[in-house]
């Protein structure tokens, strides 16, 4: 069983999946915060490779990506950091990137480097499944999960295609837009998750806009995992004093997810 599969193999347990931009606010910060996240009850960590045109990301993560690029962070740097983190934590590590850096690196070369660094999965928001066959074949050979995304606007045909091809889990984007902390989640989120449940057997994880324990608890009633990014990045803005606030935030989310919720199916 893969590490990602094992993260969803605990009955009644909802996975907590934080996102951090590698190199924001510094590489040392990334090496410090990921072990903290694991110790506070996170099940998977999503490591963002900074990119100059992050089309799926809102202002908070865009700014973090820009800062990391200013710090000289490259895909090679991120792979090195992932390898160092693999020695520190046992939970799955998933890289979030865009297709251009992967293509420029070379598909086979990039996936092989991921395997050597102990990376368990890849999320590439601008890679639709219709164009992912080559990368799917390469990642399967290296036992790395290629995780596809669905949005509330996804057609029944796209939902079926992603359900056939996504490995590890399916990333449900809560809103048709970009990442970012929001005051409330969309009213039709439950209906969206139910549509995907009808055809998908993979765990469903919801991201985009989740920033409070109350929102996390609502998502826990319909999903197998909760993805949190922008609010966490905001808490990391103070480079020398973020561990306490981050730990409190993640502990609060974990506590909310561990409270009894209704059945997902």
Q: Which residues belong to the active site?
A: 46, 57
Report the sign of the C-alpha dihedral through residues 54, 60, 61, 64, in that order.
positive
Helix (H), strand (E) counts: the chain: 12, 9
The bridge status of strand 170-173 relative to strand 149-150 is parallel
DSSP 199: T
In 3D space, the residue among 40, 48, 139 whose CA is nearest the CA of residue 89 turns out to be 40
Q: Where are the beta strands (DSSP E) in 139-246?
A: 145-147, 149-150, 170-173, 204-207, 225-228
Please give the Cα distance from 148 to 162 (Å, whole number). 6
CB 171 within 8 A of CB 147: yes
Please give the Cα distance from 17 to 13 (Å, whole number). 13
Our measurement of the distance from residue 155's CA atom to the centroid of its chain's CA atoms, rounded to an integer in Å, reads 23
In 3D space, the residue among 179, 233, 230, 234 whose CA is nearest the CA of residue 55 turns out to be 179
First to last CA, the chain: 23
């Amino acid at each position: 069983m893969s590490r990602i599969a094992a993260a969803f193999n605990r009955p009644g347990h909802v996975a907590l999946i934080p996102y951090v931009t590698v190199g924001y606010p510094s590489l040392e910060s990334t090496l410090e915060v990921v072990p903290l996240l694991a110790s506070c009850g996170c099940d998977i960590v999503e490591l963002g490779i900074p990119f100059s045109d992050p089309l799926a990301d809102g202002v908070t993560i865009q700014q973090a990506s820009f800062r990391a690029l200013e710090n000289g962070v490259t895909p090679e740097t991120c792979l090195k950091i992932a390898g160092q983190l693999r020695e520190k934590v046992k939970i799955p590590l998933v890289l979030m990137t865009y297709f251009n850096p992967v293509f420029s690196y070379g598909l086979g070369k990039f996936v092989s480097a991921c395997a050597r660094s102990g990376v368990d999965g890849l999320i590439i928001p601008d890679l639709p499944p219709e164009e992912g066959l080559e990368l799917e074949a390469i990642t399967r050979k290296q036992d790395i999960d290629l995780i596809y995304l669905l949005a509330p606007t996804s057609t029944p045909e796209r939902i079926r295609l992603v359900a056939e091809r996504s490995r590890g889990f399916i990333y449900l984007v809560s809103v048709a837009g970009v990442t970012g902390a929001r005051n409330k989640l969309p009213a039709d989120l439950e209906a969206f998750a139910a549509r995907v449940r009808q055809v998908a057997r993979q765990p469903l994880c919801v991201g985009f806009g989740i920033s409070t324990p109350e929102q996390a608890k609502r998502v826990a009633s319909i999903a197998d995992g909760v993805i949190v990014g922008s609010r966490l990045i905001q808490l990391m803005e103070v480079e020398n004093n973020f561990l306490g606030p981050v730990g409190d935030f993640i502990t609060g989310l974990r506590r909310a997810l561990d409270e009894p919720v209704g059945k997902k199916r």
